[in-house]
Amino acid sequence: MKLFVQKQNPQALLTFQEAATQMKVHYHALVSRVRNGSLRAYRRKGKTYITAEDIANWQPLWDRGHDLVVREAHAAGESDVAIGAMLGLSRERIRQIRNALGLAKNPLKPRLPKHFAPQSP
């Protein structure tokens, strides 16, 4: 966990609880992001703070605009697995986004016949 010393605007520093309430992000999400190093934290007088600006720069996955890509790929007839491969997300996460958008599951694409399989008598 990297901690930085904030010297300029001490009023911009927020506790984790204040930041969670103000930015509408779960408290534990902020703590875990600071621990894994994807969100910057500041130490001041023995306490840890974060800024609203840093939280705004770090956006959770659901705020990254994946819904637009999912909507377009769904209209093109792509499956959840194919959309997930494009975005680097799981099929389950794509299903959750698709359901939140109110989109039905795309029908399966027709498969090619299996020529190598033995014919039944």
SS3 (DSSP) at 41: strand
| Of 40 and 7, more confident | 40
CA distances for 69 relative to 29, 60, 76, 82, 109, angstroms: 25, 16, 11, 12, 20
Q: Is the pLDDT of residue 6 over 80?
A: no
The structural domains of the chain, with segments of one domain joined by +, span 3-55, 62-100
Report how far residue 14's alpha carbon sits from residue 22's, in angstroms, rounded to the nearest whole number: 9
Q: How many CA atoms lie within 13 A of 22 on its CB side?
A: 16
* Residues 64-103: tens digit of each pLDDT: 678 888 999 999 999 999 998 888 889 999 999 999 999 9
> 3-55: what CATH class?
mainly alpha
Residues 6+ apart with CB under 8 A from 26: 20
Give residue 67's pLDDT: 85
Question: What is the percent of the chain where pLDDT is above 70?
Answer: 82
pLDDT at 89: 85
Q: Is the pTM of this model over 0.85?
A: no
